[in-house]
């Protein structure tokens, strides 16, 4: 009898240890965007929550934790058209939570603006409000935000910036040195013409 009880206890402990792993396999996060993230430039991205044969959870939220040089602005719009800064609120979803189960892909478009360059980490956790905020699954995304100091092939303040080399725009019209050359040439021509007339006069 003792052997049976010991065996059952081992099975129970193993189940408790494996249940978070199984839940993590059932639900997962992803973050999709293109190009570099630049300081003070709004970046469009999509947060995906995917379920694969997910166990029913009647009341969940997405917890948002951000570490980095400064707190960014991350805007998401709910089904009623209201915009929320989830970097400030620290979560995404109704106050009472929402249900997840089975196979699905929830896509949430976001607009992120970082006011300081540097390294950031965004941790997304699916928490079960009905089970003392137990973490169902979590994932951390490491991001690099760049300083916007390089302009390519743009005209700014009458200079052309190209391949990180600044060159003056070509000037149009006649310069003062061209006028000096014209006057010198005209003077020489008039002097030569005058000499020619003097020779004919005294010939």
pLDDT for 26 equals 95
Contact between residue 101 and residue 55 where contact means Cβ atoms under 8 Å apart: yes
Residue 154 pLDDT: 41
Span 132-154, pLDDT tens digits? 999 999 999 999 999 975 544 34
Q: How far apart are CA 143 and CA 121, in angstroms?
A: 6
Q: Which residues of the chain have pLDDT under 50?
A: 2-22, 151-177, 179
CA 153 to each of CA 148, 157, 159: distance values in angstroms, whole numbers, following the listed order: 15, 13, 10
Which pLDDT does position 182 carry in this prediction?
53
Assign 165 to helix, strand or coil: strand
Do β-strands 37-38 and 134-146 pair in parallel, antiparallel, or remain unpaired?
Answer: parallel
| Per-residue model confidence as pLDDT tens digits over 21-41 | 445 589 999 999 999 999 999
The Cβ of residue 48 has, within 10 Å, a number of other Cβ atoms equal to: 13
């Amino acid at each position: 009898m003792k052997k049976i009880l010991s065996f059952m206890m081992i099975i129970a402990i193993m189940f408790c240890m494996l249940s978070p792993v199984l839940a993590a396999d059932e639900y997962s996060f992803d973050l999709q965007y293109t190009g570099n993230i630049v300081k003070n430039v709004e970046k469009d991205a999509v947060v995906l929550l995917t379920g694969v044969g997910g166990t029913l959870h009647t009341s969940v939220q997405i917890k948002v934790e951000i570490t980095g040089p400064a707190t960014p602005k991350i805007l998401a719009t709910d089904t009623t058209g209201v915009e929320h800064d989830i970097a400030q609120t620290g979560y995404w979803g109704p106050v009472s939570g929402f249900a997840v189960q089975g196979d699905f892909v929830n896509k949430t478009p976001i607009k992120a603006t970082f006011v300081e360059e540097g390294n950031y980490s965004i941790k997304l956790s699916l928490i079960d409000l009905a089970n003392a905020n137990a973490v169902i699954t979590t994932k951390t995304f490491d991001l690099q935000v760049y300083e916007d100091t390089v302009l390519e092939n743009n005209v700014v303040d009458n200079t052309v910036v190209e391949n990180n080399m600044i060159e003056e725009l070509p000037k149009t019209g006649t310069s003062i040195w061209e006028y000096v050359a014209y006057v010198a040439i005209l003077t020489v021509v008039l002097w030569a013409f005058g000499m020619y007339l003097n020779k004919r006069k005294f010939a």
